[in-house]
Structure 1
Amino acid sequence: MEALDRGVVSVHTDSGNLVSWRWLATDPDDVSFNVYRAGTKVNSSPVTGSTNWFHSGAPSQADYTVRAVVGGVEQADSVHAVQFRTGYKDVPISPPAGGTTPDGVAYTYEANDASVGDLDGDGALDFVLKWNPTNAKDNSQSGYTGNTVIDGIKLDGTRLWRIDLGRNIRSGAHYTQFQVYDYDGDGRAEVAMKTADATVDGTGATIGSASADYRNSSGYVLSGPEYLTMFNGLTGAAMATVDYVPARGTVSSWGDSYGNRVDRFLAGTAYLDGARPSLIMARGYYTRTVIAAWDWRGGAFTRRWTFDTNSSTNTGKGYDGQGSHSLSIGDVDSDGKDEIVYGAMAVDDNGAGLWTTKTGHGDAQHLGDLDPANPGLEYFKVSESTSQPAELYIDPANGQILWQLASCGCDNGRGVAGDIYAGNDGAEVWSASDSYIRDEAGATKGREPSSVNFLSWWDGDTTRELLDGTHIDKYGTSADTRLLTGSDVHSNNSTKATPSLSGDILGDWREEVVWPTTDNTALRIYSTPYETTTRITTLLHDSQYRTALAWQNTAYNQPPHPSFFIGNGMATAPRPLIYTP
């Protein structure tokens, strides 16, 4: 996993600065810390019970470093703190130039989904940002779109490269799923995504034919070659390109003839061998599903396996038509290797079908340690079909449905799982069609929250907060309380109202949220201003959480969950054993 720096942040409030930093998996269990301002220690004794410290009365521009204390010996200075002088940190970004489609429609660009990875190997996370044209389309909508553009950006706003996916990759939430991860263990993240003829990499080189135009009169791309490309995270150069698996073949074989279901793509990253990450690229979920697992080693792609619901091994077993608008990845059977939970079914680490509930497609799902009293992971999902259960709570080791709610007679389009209420042990689950939060047994435990969207560990306790649109709320038994309203920012993906990224990317284990500014000239990062007495290893070193950050941008974005329970009454958080370059 990544060899990270301390990720120190200083968040200014009316009464001083909250300084927080990472407890790395590579640190000793008993490490403590000293906090320095401009070279002068400001804490009276080493910090042991958390990885944050509040400096009362300090100005916003105060410069901080942190020094670990190991065996009574103080270590070298950390990197200097990233300063959140106004409560947030802006990363400058530059929108691509707009254009006009062949049918005369003008478009501009909006910052959309983002991911993180150490692109240059300096120990700090960098951003990879997707720019969507304002005429991006859902697959069900006809019409031309502008090109999708991907930028690699450092925290200071330095743009490392820009990739233009070209006219033969349609723009929209279901078309481009990009993965940012260090797949070969060289200490620098790579960037993988689907490409086509006329894609231009970060060095200006064109993939395939620069003049090819496969768009039909409805704006769909239903012919021409399809590729998978691995890009250099530092330069944006295309390092290798192979045929995308699976090929589209006959468009109608995916469920319709006009180009909707054939181009439903999902992507992720998984530790299929329990040690090194593999790239997961998939196509289809309404009818046929194909999932391809790729290794990137020594500058080349190798396909590890392909799972196809139409294969002789899988056909007729109920794996088809089970995918959701996203996926989840984790070690569901406790064998030390990751599985892919693909909506209402799962695929084992070796590419074999693991189980299927045969309950069909859904819009949201959550895989995590939702019930700390039960060993392993739990899985919660919602269903779109009016003939299927509205909510399902599943044992992901074998697909057993532990409880379910009867169909709502509707498309239950939203569902969430997380410990938002300290009055109940374990996580709560709720959905758009339900009026309550429920526990691990399906019993009602309180009123429904104000939102059914994202989650964020934001304040000082271990229950999780509600992230929706451009605000964060804390659940209460009678009403929710607003903790944060983003200033001059916008959410993404229409009614999904998701941030560009949310997760533990800086500071201690609590989660940052990243929104684009309303004028799309900056990524505005918010980090918690609240102190905590809880000490947890950076979630970036929990492989399930880290891979969840990688797949968060996939289709209908979902929040990340670690492999262990964080919530009210939690046990001491485990210390992950990892290897770094």
Structure 2
Amino acid sequence: MASRGRIARVLAAGALTAAPAGAAPPPPPLTDGKQRETLDRGLISVRSGSGNLVSWRLLATDPATVTFNLYRGTTRIVTGASLTNHLDAGAAAGQAYTVRPVIGGVEQAGTTSGTGQVIGNASADHRNSSGYVLNGPEYLTVLNGQTGAVRATVDYVPPRGTVSSWGDSYGHGDALHVGVHSNNGTKATPSLSGDLLGDWREEVIWPTTDNTRLRIYSTPSTTGLRAITLLHDIQNRTALAWQNTAYNQPPHPSFAIG
């Protein structure tokens, strides 16, 4: 949908990945002829002490000079961030966040195709006072699978209904109160681990003890390193798939991190 902000997903906090020291990982090459997924920013908010750690993806397709503006609700709280994580100290739990890239000094909005075509009104902002997008136009677009260019786009007309009918009333504060367990006996592996959401650091998924739900845990710690999402590293992306189709072991990137 055009011009819709990316609302942060609120996850359970866990010290899964500490902020490593050293140089930032190199970006995966875009000259290898391999197609990479079209990803959004994967924005998440994790409770960290008395604030919220907000993080998002840097994409392999981003220009090297891209920066980011971060909003809490409709209020801009960070301007021109070079990093892809921010600790919103003192913020209440359950806040909604959006992030927008800034390219060439211009804040980007709206949905774009793989070739940069804007779908809808790039300057529109349909967020309400809480930062959620519950009104405004939606679009159904067919893209060229080889180039990412728009083939056709039409209005998406089915009504949204109410947020609670989507299965989410934004009550995530008790996520840590439910126990989890490992898989595969003495191997004690999670259901999945890898760079799933937020910045380049990894998340881990565990099933609850009654096997009725999955819990996603992410780091509550900041990092001073800026790195491209591991989802755009072909080997690492393949490794995410092999965990559920072959050998349930952690994924490995094609380069040394840190």
Q: TM-score, normalised by structure 1?
A: 0.27
Q: Counterparts of 1:306-321 in structure 2 under 5 Å?
A: none
Indicate the residue corresponding to 1:527 in structure 2.
218
For residue 77 of structure 1, report the CA deviation from its aligned partner: 6.6
Indicate the residue corresponding to 1:66 in structure 2.
99
Q: Could you tell me which of 48, 52, 59 is aligned with 1:13?
A: 48
Indicate the residue corresponding to 1:488 in structure 2.
179
Deviations 1:88-133 (A, max 9, x none): xxxxxxxxxxxxxxxxxxxxxxxxxxxxxxxxx99xxxxxxxxxxx
Q: Could you tell me which of 230, 237, 241 is aligned with 1:546?
A: 237
Deviations 1:434-457 (A, max 9, x none): xxxxxxxxxxxxxxxxxxxxxxxx
Indicate the residue corresponding to 2:80 in structure 1.
46
Query: 1: CA distance between counterparts of 2:70 and 2:38?
Result: 22
Q: Counterparts of 1:254-403 in structure 2 under 5 Å?
A: none
Query: 2: CA distance between counterparts of 1:557 and 1:531?
Result: 28
Q: Counterparts of 1:388-427 in structure 2 under 5 Å?
A: none
Structure 1 or 2: larger strand share?
A: 1
Q: Could you tell me which of 245, 250, 255 is aligned with 1:564?
A: 255
Change (3 A) 1:530 1:11: same
Which protein shows a greater Rg?
1
Q: Counterparts of 1:38-187 in structure 2 under 5 Å?
A: 38-43=73-78, 45-48=79-82, 50-76=83-109
For residue 13 of structure 1, report the CA deviation from its aligned partner: 2.1
Identity of aligned residues (%): 65
Which amino acid is the alignment partner of residue 534 of structure 1? L
Deviations 1:294-349 (A, max 9, x none): xxxxxxxxxxxxxxxxxxxxxxxxxxxxxxxxxxxxxxxxxxxxxxxxxxxxxxxx
For residue 500 of structure 1, report the CA deviation from its aligned partner: 0.4
SS in 2 for 1:3: coil
For residue 39 of structure 1, report the CA deviation from its aligned partner: 1.2
Higher relative contact order (CA 8 A, sep 6+): 2
Tell me, yes or no, if the aligned pair for 2:85 and 2:223 is still in contact at 8 Å: yes
Query: 2: CA distance between counterparts of 1:518 and 1:186?
Result: 45
Indicate the residue corresponding to 1:25 in structure 2.
60
SS in 1 for 2:81: coil
Structure 1 or 2: larger helix share?
A: 2
Deviations 1:200-227 (A, max 9, x none): xxxxxxxxxxxxxxxxxxxxxxxxxxxx
Indicate the residue corresponding to 2:6 in structure 1.
none
1:499 aligns with 2:199: no
Query: 2: CA distance between counterparts of 1:37 and 1:559?
Result: 34
Which amino acid is the alignment partner of residue 489 of structure 1? V
Tell me, yes or no, if the aligned pair for 1:67 and 1:77 is still in contact at 8 Å: no
SS in 2 for 1:17: strand
Query: 2: CA distance between counterparts of 1:556 and 1:508?
Result: 25
For residue 486 of structure 1, report the CA deviation from its aligned partner: 9.4
For residue 14 of structure 1, report the CA deviation from its aligned partner: 2.3
SS in 1 for 2:244: coil
Query: 2: CA distance between counterparts of 1:20 and 1:77?
Result: 20
Which amino acid is the alignment partner of residue 81 of structure 2? V
Query: 2: CA distance between counterparts of 1:64 and 1:554?
Result: 34
Tell me, yes or no, if the aligned pair for 1:500 and 1:516 is still in contact at 8 Å: yes
Tell me, yes or no, if the aligned pair for 1:65 and 1:77 is still in contact at 8 Å: no
CA RMSD in angstroms comes to 2.6
Tell me, yes or no, if the aligned pair for 1:496 and 1:556 is still in contact at 8 Å: no
Which amino acid is the alignment partner of residue 74 of structure 1? E
Stretches (4+) displaced over 4 A = 184-187
Change (3 A) 1:77 1:526: farther
Q: Could you tell me which of 27, 30, 37 is aligned with 1:2?
A: 37
Q: TM-score, normalised by structure 2?
A: 0.60
Query: 2: CA distance between counterparts of 1:4 and 1:487?
Result: 30
SS in 2 for 1:552: helix
Query: 1: CA distance between counterparts of 2:87 and 2:51?
Result: 7
Which amino acid is the alignment partner of residue 227 of structure 2? I
The count of corresponding residues between Structure 1 and Structure 2 is 167
Deviations 1:530-568 (A, max 9, x none): 00000110000010110111112345422111111102x
Query: 1: CA distance between counterparts of 2:146 and 2:215?
Result: 30
Change (3 A) 1:3 1:555: closer
Query: 2: CA distance between counterparts of 1:556 and 1:36?
Result: 40
SS in 2 for 1:557: coil
Tell me, yes or no, if the aligned pair for 2:45 and 2:52 is still in contact at 8 Å: yes
